[in-house]
Chain A
């Protein structure tokens, strides 16, 4: 029989262990290393995994300081929400400007004119929305109007939480508007499209795994980079990329959260980190990870990789993100109405 003493010993040992673990955790931050937290959207995992060590090496060379960059990924809306709730990010690199606007509006971490602080609307890379279909394109999907056909299952994340999904939605809208002319018809079209959506994941990566791993759906509305990556990771013989006749220029912006960075004493570092994204070195990594580079020289190098797409812009077609968000995605907006009709 196990004696009481053994039992008492075990409890004391467990307590001691927990205390030891506690002290271990608090001594992790040593003096020589600065930490930087980059809160990003869903598909950029591979991109920043490659860029961060490059920047760390460069920063070390320039200042002698070690830098450790921590990453957090998730649907852009969800990430913005977390930052507003107190996730202590130094920089945010999100899927669209509205989510950063929202951070600017609800916290005092950055000023409202943040988007003019870096070149290209603060977007070091751009992308667009394409279709990923199963090998051989069995449902013969060529353009947006094929998505509303009966029997076609469309996979897209939820526009309420995912930035990519909002670009998907607006690209579909832009197509319908150009094809049919009026807003009412565009809404009718998008409603029919969402009737064909069986699953709404909260982020782009969730949708990609739903489509590619769980085998649900006939077509995935995806970031161009996400589509290329799925092909690369899971086999080119499994999926085809279909480029629609019209799509949208997606500009995922980046910015320093001044308030947080100042509190951490990382303002210089955070600025240098984001500026590094515009250097040829980083732009090359960007192109290799299937994001469209913005630096002219690198653009030319990767030009053949990306299909020519007829792109509308958020400012030209929808009057900017503030207006688009108000009209389509806020509570009671067009998306909510569409979703109610869907049921």
Chain B
């Protein structure tokens, strides 16, 4: 680990560069983040809390949590299955699968949304059939969930594949040779090995699921109190000259990011600690 290398004296150039990097961070990350909170609290705590307790805001928060609560477990299930398959088995089409997993990262979120409009829209492939049975997918909650699942697809898998590949199959093979069933092996050997990486992936996936704007905006239909997630609600409030409320909801999202960051850092620390412990 890096801790082993001896501390060096900082040259002026190094100090300059560090200063530059910190200054850059302050202006481009810290300052905007601070502005969100300052704007949100510009009229005091009362209006801030009022804005969050407003029915449309509450329903936006509820919808965002619901979407995340559906998208994240789906991603965990898929991510686990995919990375397990990719890391532990050889099969034809493996590299194709890896490429497909990355697709949502490279596709613009707007395209992700439009794809569902083309598929489920009235002029789309399935739209007329769905209307026949009175099933509403786009411009309703299912569409928002689908779009979110699409854009968050790679998070868990991307986190687990390198980890599982690094760990190899020795542990699992040992367990199997000692008579464990496949399921037992998965629960008692594989899962404990990857749990920190998995938790880390879940966290990132959750942050993105709650914060996604582009894809969700395309399929939402922007019905107040029905299909507005928090990011969409921020935009609506801002457009209605309701700046305190807009920044109040935005600060809630920012807070989520901060919490994610803290937990992530804690996990990373824990992760390296555990791995180091295992290594020595």
Cβ-neighbour of A18 out of B69, B134, B195 (below 8 A)? B69
Which of B4-12, B25-33, B121-129 faces chain A?
A: B121-129
A85 contacts B191, CB within 8 Å? no
With an 8 A cutoff between CB atoms, is B238 at the interface?
yes
Query: When A14-B73, A18-B70, A37-B223 are in contact, do A209 and B238 touch as well, CB less than 8 Å?
Result: yes
With an 8 A cutoff between CB atoms, is A245 at the interface?
no
B127 contacts A209, CB within 8 Å? no
Interface residues on A, range: 35 or more
**Roughly how many angstroms separate A107 CA and B121 CA in the complex, as a whole number?**
12
Which of A71-79, A94-102, A139-147 faces chain B?
A: A71-79
B73 contacts A86, CB within 8 Å? no
Residue of B nearest to A85 (CB): B121
Summarize A's interface: helix, strand, loop or mixed: helix
**Chain A positions within 8 Å of B62 at CB level:** 21
With an 8 A cutoff between CB atoms, is A233 at the interface?
yes
Binary CB contact string for chain B from 203 to 226 against chain A (1 if under 8 A, 0 otherwise): 000000000000000000111111
Query: When A21-B69, A73-B222, A205-B239 are in contact, do A84 and B139 touch as well, CB less than 8 Å?
Result: no
Q: 20 more A-B contacts (CB under 8 A) besides A4-B187, A7-B191?
A: A14-B69, A14-B72, A17-B69, A21-B62, A22-B66, A24-B66, A42-B239, A45-B240, A70-B223, A71-B223, A73-B222, A84-B123, A85-B127, A86-B120, A86-B122, A86-B127, A87-B221, A88-B136, A205-B240, A206-B239
Residue of B nearest to A78 (CB): B222
Binding site for B on A (CB under 8 A): 1-2, 4, 7, 11, 14-15, 17-18, 21-22, 24-25, 37, 42, 45-46, 70-74, 82, 84-88, 106-107, 205-206, 209, 233-234, 263
**Chain A positions within 8 Å of B73 at CB level:** 11, 14-15, 18
**Roughly how many angstroms separate A235 CA and B224 CA in the complex, as a whole number?**
27
User: Nearest 7 CB-CB pairs, A to B?
Assistant: A18-B69, A85-B121, A86-B122, A233-B241, A21-B66, A87-B139, A205-B239
Query: When A22-B70, A70-B225, A234-B241 are in contact, do A88 and B191 touch as well, CB less than 8 Å?
Result: no
**Chain A positions within 8 Å of B224 at CB level:** 70-72
Residue of A nearest to B222 (CB): A72
B69 contacts A72, CB within 8 Å? no
A7 contacts B195, CB within 8 Å? yes
Residue of A nearest to B221 (CB): A87
Pairs A–B under 8 Å by Cβ, sample size 17: A2-B195, A14-B72, A18-B66, A21-B69, A21-B70, A22-B70, A42-B239, A45-B239, A72-B221, A72-B224, A85-B121, A85-B124, A86-B127, A86-B138, A88-B139, A206-B239, A234-B241
With an 8 A cutoff between CB atoms, is B40 at the interface?
no
With an 8 A cutoff between CB atoms, is B248 at the interface?
no
**Roughly how many angstroms separate A263 CA and B136 CA in the complex, as a whole number?**
13
Residue of A nearest to B139 (CB): A87
With an 8 A cutoff between CB atoms, is B141 at the interface?
yes
B76 contacts A85, CB within 8 Å? no
Query: When A14-B72, A73-B222 are in contact, do A86 and B66 touch as well, CB less than 8 Å?
Result: no
**Chain A positions within 8 Å of B94 at CB level:** none
B127 contacts A70, CB within 8 Å? no
**Roughly how many angstroms separate A4 CA and B195 CA in the complex, as a whole number?**
8
Q: What's the nearest-Cβ distance from chain B to residue A266, in Å?
A: 14
Q: What's the nearest-Cβ distance from chain A to residue B175, in Å?
A: 15
**Roughly how many angstroms separate A73 CA and B225 CA in the complex, as a whole number?**
13
**Chain A positions within 8 Å of B141 at CB level:** 25
**Chain B positions within 8 Å of A73 at CB level:** 222, 236
Interface centre among A14, A18, A46, A263 (most CB of B within 10 A): A18
